Structure formats: C-alpha cells, structure tokens
Structure 1
Amino acid sequence: MRPLITAALGVLLVLQNSVAADPAAEPLSRRLAGALSAAWGAQQAARTAVAAQQWDTTAAASALEGIDGLWQRTAAGEYFRLLQNITDTLAAGGPHFAASPGAVGNGLLTLYLVTGERKYFQQATSEWQQLQALTRPLGGGGGGSPAGTSVPPPLESLPFFARYAALVRDAPALDAAAKWTANYARGSAGAPFSGFDAPRMAAFGSALVGVLDALPSDHPARADLVGLMGAYTDAVVRPGSAVAGLWRDEPQALGAPSGPARAASCLVANALAKAARRRWLPPPAARAAAAVARGAFAGAAAAFSVGGAAASDGVSAGPAALGACLMAANEMEAAALPKPGRGRVVLLDSYFNNESRIDQSGHAQSWHYKWGERGDGGFSFLAGVFERAGFELRTLYGPPTAAALEGAAVYIIVDPDTGNESSKPNYVGRADVDAIRGWVGAGGALVLMGNNVGNCELTRFNDLASAFGLRFAGDTRGRVPGTEFAAGKVVIPAGNEIFAPGDLFIKEYSSLQLAGGTARAVLRDDGGAVVVAVSSYGQGRVFAVGDPWLYNEYVDGRRLPPSYGNFQAAADLVDWLASASPKP
C-alpha cells in the first residue's frame, strides 16, 4: 500500500475510534471531522475518478480550513496530521483530482508556517505562479477584474492568492487581490450582489473573509473591504433583500440532504460569524449577523444528527458540505463559549522582546513569541485562547508608558532580549517600572515570562519583577534530554488557585524567588523550587513563570503526549487573568 494511503487510513482509524467511543459526547465539529476523515479515507481506498472528483477546489479549500480551525481550537495533534496528509496528497496531484490551481495553497502555506519545511513554501509558490499564469491584461474589465488590470484568479482561490502575497510582501499582488475581491461583488445589474444565487453568495462571503484575514491592518483597501463586509451582511440579513430568504425563510431547504445547499448555508454562516468575531461589523450588525449565522448553520447541521448516515460515514454528505460545515461549526462552538474577556484588551510586548530574522523572501521579520506566529516559537495557540475568551489582541511596539498601557486589561512581557539576540536591545528602565507599577496598582493584570539563564535578560527584568516581590533566580532547571518529557513534568495539586489538577510540561526554566509582600508560589517542581508565582499589588495582580512556556511547540499537540495539559493550562490562565483584572 502506498505510504500516503497508509497514513490516511491510519489517521482515519484514530479519528473514527475517538468518535465511536462516545458519539453523543462529541461536539459536532469533531463528528464532522470524523466524517470528513471517513470521506477522505474512502477516496484514498477507492482511487476512482468519481471519488477523487468530489475533492474539487471548493471541497479541498473548505476541508483544509475546517480541519486547521479545529486543530487550533483543540490542540489535538491528530487533526494536524489529517491536515498534513490531505494537503500532501492533493499537492502531489493525480489523474482524477478536479481541484484547480490554488486549491491546496492555504494548506501548503499553513504547513510551511507551522513546520518551517521549505518544500511547502516551494509548493505554495508553484500554486501561486499557476494562479498568476491564469491572469492576463484586460482592457475593458470583466468577471472579477477591474477595468485596465487583468483577469482575476478564480474567486475561491483569492484568499490563498492574498495570503501568499502578504507573506512575500508583494504589494502590487496584494492590491490586485483586494481590487478583484471588490469587483467580484458586482452583480448582473452592476449593483452589489444583484443576481447572486445561493452558491455564488456563499462563495463570495467565504472569499471576502479570507482576503480580509490576509490583508495587513494598515492596508489602504482594508476599510473598503470592511465596508463591503457590511454590505454583504446587510444583503444576507435584511428582510426583503434579494438573498435574505435563502437563509432566513427556508430553513427546511437549507437542511435538506442536498450537499450543495448545506455547503452554501455553512459558508454563509461561517462568513457572518467570523465577521462578527473579528469586529469587522458595528455591534448591531454583528449581533444580527451572529443570529442569522446560527439559524443558517442550524438548518444545515440538522442533517448531521448523532447516528445519522452523514455523521457516521461522511461519504453521502460529500467533502464540500462536510468541510464547509466544519468551518461554521468551529465558529459556532467558539462563539458559544463564555466570554470573560469581552470588551477587554490583552497587550503583548514587542519592545523588550524584539528579535528579528530574515524570512524566506529576504525581508526582516519580527519573530519569537508573537500572536500571529504559527511556528514552534509562536503564540498563535495562546492567541486563540485569548480570542475565544473574548479578549481583543494587540501588540505594543514601543515602551510601556502610562498612555500606552491605558485601556489594556492584561499586559504580557516575554523573554526580554539580550545583547546576543538584538543588536540594539531595549532594556527595562526605571520609567518603565514606574509606569507598569502604576498600571498594575490601578487594576491591571501583568504577566512576566522569563527564561533560563543565558536566554533572557534577567538583571533589568528583575528590577520590574522585584517591584512586586518576585525575582527570577537566573538558573536552569528542568533539563529534558531529547523526548524524555517526564524530566519536565510539573504536577498540579488539587485546589490550585489557577490550574486544574493534572500534569504540565515545562523545560529549561529559571526558578523564582519570593521576595516578600504578597508574593506566593502557585507551582513547585519536584525539587521544591518555585516554577510559577503570583503577587497582588493595589487593585491588580502579577503572574510570573521562568519560561515563555505557552508557546506553540508545547501547546499544539504535535509533540507532547496528551497526558500533559499545557493547552488546558493556557485556558485556565486566561480565565484567571480575566477574573484578576477589574479593568474593562
């Protein structure tokens, strides 16, 4: 049996067994993933044209995005392996696959950003170049092309086109992607969305939120596309509009066994829910969008009832419907979680920790413990935990003045640079200590994440920690040879004030010293050294740990055995920070 087929069936068995154990206890997203895995396994086993042609561009793109989203929400490593297997196989191509260029591009980019393997970037580049070859100069405009530019890539490929352009910093290509997206909204009568049927409306919404995700926050076309998102939402939500009935007035049709109807409904639900979550809509429109998204999703999801054929074998539903509904399920289930951080800002420092490197395209890139960084050293999983709790993510690139900290409920400083890590490090100074201490005293929640000796500037960082009765010892504990993870195990006892009982993993950390006041240990290692400590100060609190700790490598489920609860610990910490800070 071919290696890729063997891998696919192995992933399939893992997912099916996990669902079969107790299907009633499984969230819909996991059941959809199990069904999607079954559909993929059936295609790999059959190797027929009919089976393969189900994995067209829409099916491949939605399946990969849905699986990636579930992996990010659960940190279950089997979903990453399924994502990797499908992407590898589709990228390798074959005589029967019906996907067009760009179909697996986002999967390839994700695998490159996560693993750092150059082959994925090269494959993504090939996909992007094929899309570029589809464009050509066009004088009069047409399709999705602004007059005087070029024929655009297919609508469903635009998110990948924009994401790749953003990664390599190809400004003209990114500008073109934004223009093409806006032009695709033109209906048959010239007005936005006029003449759009359900599949077209669904495809456009999915493309629009994908391109918005890729655009930098300061891109000049961003405001226009956010405005277009509002117009799209109005077209979908407003009673009496040309397409509102598709989602509001005909729920039975949406929930019918028809795969295309379910896929369209779920793509619209996903677009509306993501726009609401990402704050691309004003509050009234966001609430309306979220309500219609729930209704549209409910009709489609009814077909995936526990024990139903679609939920158990995944083949009858088809990968396009399963992938689209998995995308929507990720949004719906995340939206239903408690939001203790709603209306609050979590601010991540990028001033004291300001490392840079040269990326694949020769550009200087800020990296190491950043919100959007998906590699081992990034904080993308922690960012997702904060977002699902309702927090707004921001980054502080300058010094922590009182004005800069105003409006933040949580401020995180991680691994301040040494002279070996930056040619011009920004050290913690007296003015920084005074500003941060005043902010904590007024109710802020401060997180201090150090590192072991030699990997972090601790002398001046300790000036800040000491203001709250804490000190990084500057030693190195928890050395872990290879994959002997037990050497880095820290046990959480029952009754811990932050974390649920269980085992955590932390390696090569600086222990903490308690310098009096309200400072107290939260976790100790098996030698009695303090691993995590907290302190109260005025109306605020401080959390300290001697390692960046919650970075992707030891949170995302790809390496650690599942017995280690680092991902759950991240959620516990976020809940504690939300309760610790009275700041809005």
Structure 2
Amino acid sequence: MKLKAILAICFLLGAATFLQAQTVTVDNYFNNETHKDKAGNEVKFHYLWNDKASTGYSIFGQAFTNNGAAVLKTLPEKPTCKNLKGTNIYIIADPDNVGDNPHPNFMDKAAAKAISKWVKKGGVLFLLANDQKNCDLSHFNILAHKFGLNFNNDLILHVIDDNHFADGGISTSGIPMFKTAKEIFIKDACSITIHKKAKAILKDKNGANVLVCTHYGRGTVLAVGDPWLYNEYTNGRLPSIYENDKAANDVAAWLLSKTKQ
C-alpha cells in the first residue's frame, strides 16, 4: 500500500476517534422543572435528552448522535471547572424563573466564571433563552455579558396562533451554518444585543438579532433568544415550509465542528 494511502487511513481513523470522544452536556440545574406523570410521580421535564414529549430535546439529542460524534450527558449540579471537564459542548436552555420553579437556581458570578473559563479553553457553549415572561434573563445575563451578549426584555417573532406561523418564519438560505434547512420557525423569542467580537448569524425582518455567535479564547458561544429546537417544533408538526428538523441537524453538526478540546 502506498504511503499516501496509509497516511490517509491513519488520519481518518484518528478523526473518527476524536469525534466519538465528543460529549454534549445539557444543563438540568438552571433549568430544573418537574411535573407529575400519570402515576403521580414527580418527574423532570423540559429541554432534556430523555424527554420525548413535545417539551423535550430528544430529537435534538438524536441530531448529535446522528452526526456520529456525541455522548449525551445531563448536568444536574451547578457547573464548575471540575464537572465541566470532559464536556465538549454545554447547552443551557430557558433558565427557570419563579413561575417555572418556586426555588430556582439562578446563574451567579461563580458559575459564570467557571463556564467562561471552560469556554476559553476550547469549550463550545450554546445558550438558549426565552422571552422575559418565561425565563430568568436578569441572572442569565451575568453569563451572557462575559461574551459581549445581552438577552433583552422584549418579544420578537411573536406568533399569535397557528394561523400566523409566518410571523415566526426566518429564511436561512445562504447561511453557512444551515447546510440543509432553508426556512426555520422561531416563536416568541427575545432579541440579543451584541458587543465586542460577537456577530449576528440571523436577524428578523425588523433587524433584531435572533441568532448570534462569538469566539472567546479558544472556544465558541452560540446564542438564541428561545429554547427553539425542542420536540414540538422539530417533529413535523409545523407546515412543511419550516425545516426545524433539518435545522436541528445543521446546528448540531455546526456545534460539533467547533469543538477543540
């Protein structure tokens, strides 16, 4: 076998090993909601890998595994430098306010410092907020400000009902992140103000920042003002023009491509 062929095979095997080692961790500390199941048991739900109902991230989690590179984990404790070690991608979605949880775990300076240190070393962070009525933005911004971002107390892409889907529609055609999705749907988000090196990937029709990205040290931060890629909007319920299922795969692939640890 020729030397070039041998080197090519070694490179591919090395790349495959690297990809298989990637770990995607979803937060279950700042987002820590529970409800009772049919048997009356208290169970955790909302934006979790194992939540297969409309409220969960099971489809988004599958998008990571479909890209052949993800070990899916959940972090129920406050993030620290120690318990973030070994995670390549960390996702925080819709931190609780008192309406979601009577005793919410708010973001604080210690957690923000640990997370920002992890990103600086090469971690990939995905922040998904929500509108101010459904999310704790004030404390979440302690972390966001580390990266030149601010989740605003406003409401964009407001959708009154299922007869007004178009109000949440955004074209992604020509956006490098979205390799397959051409039109997506995001409902009732908050906008994001950006500073420093942060750049907008998507804007709404009024020019508000919807999806933004920035680099911090060796790491990458992606942020959007809505939990967005949960099962309700990735399972085919939307009109066929909206390709959130493809977007989930596109975003997962993009996040995995940014890992450096």
- Whether the 8 Å CA contact 1:512–1:529 is kept in 2: the answer is yes
Q: Does 1:575 align with 2:253?
A: yes
- Whether the 8 Å CA contact 1:340–1:578 is kept in 2: the answer is no
**Aligned position for 1:462:** 141
Code of the aligned partner of 2:165: F
User: Could you give the per-residue CA deviations for residues 299-351 of structure 1, whole angstroms, max 9, x where no partner exists?
Assistant: xxxxxxxxxxxxxxxxxxxxxxxxxxxxxxxxxxxxxxx99842111000000
2:20 to 342, 357, 361: 342
| Pairing of 1:368-447 with structure 2 (within 5 A) | 368-389=46-67, 390-447=69-126
2:36 to 358, 364, 374: 358
- Whether the 8 Å CA contact 1:340–1:575 is kept in 2: the answer is no
State the alpha-carbon separation in 2 of the partners of residues 481 and 424 from structure 1.
30
Q: TM-score, normalised by structure 2?
A: 0.90
Specify which structure has the bigger relative contact order, considering alpha-carbon pairs within 8 angstroms and separated by 6 or more residues.
Answer: 2
The verdict on how the C-alpha distance between 1:534 and 1:340 changes in structure 2, with shifts beyond 3 A counting, is farther
Paired residue secondary structure (2:91): strand
| Pairing of 1:302-317 with structure 2 (within 5 A) | none
1:534 to 199, 213, 217: 213
- Cα offset for 1:579? 1.4
State the alpha-carbon separation in 2 of the partners of residues 518 and 358 from structure 1.
44
- Whether the 8 Å CA contact 1:497–1:522 is kept in 2: the answer is no
Code of the aligned partner of 2:224: V
The verdict on how the C-alpha distance between 1:441 and 1:453 changes in structure 2, with shifts beyond 3 A counting, is same
**Aligned position for 1:474:** 153
Segments of 5+ residues of structure 2 without an aligned counterpart are: 1-15
Q: Does 1:510 align with 2:166?
A: no
Identity of aligned residues (%): 39
- Cα offset for 1:574? 1.1
Aligned residue-pair number:
243
**Aligned position for 1:131:** none
Segments of 5+ residues of structure 1 without an aligned counterpart are: 1-337
State the alpha-carbon separation in 1 of the partners of residues 185 and 248 from structure 2.
12
State the alpha-carbon separation in 1 of the partners of residues 50 and 111 from structure 2.
26
- Cα offset for 1:561? 1.4
State the alpha-carbon separation in 1 of the partners of residues 63 and 226 from structure 2.
19
**Aligned position for 1:324:** none
Paired residue secondary structure (1:507): coil
Q: Does 1:486 align with 2:169?
A: no
Q: Which runs of 4+ in 1 moved over 2 A?
A: 338-341
- Cα offset for 1:481? 2.4
User: Could you give the per-residue CA deviations for residues 4-28 of structure 1, whole angstroms, max 9, x where no partner exists?
Assistant: xxxxxxxxxxxxxxxxxxxxxxxxx
The verdict on how the C-alpha distance between 1:340 and 1:379 changes in structure 2, with shifts beyond 3 A counting, is farther
- Cα offset for 1:523? 0.3
State the alpha-carbon separation in 1 of the partners of residues 139 and 147 from structure 2.
14
Q: TM-score, normalised by structure 1?
A: 0.41
| Pairing of 1:160-179 with structure 2 (within 5 A) | none
**Aligned position for 1:566:** 244
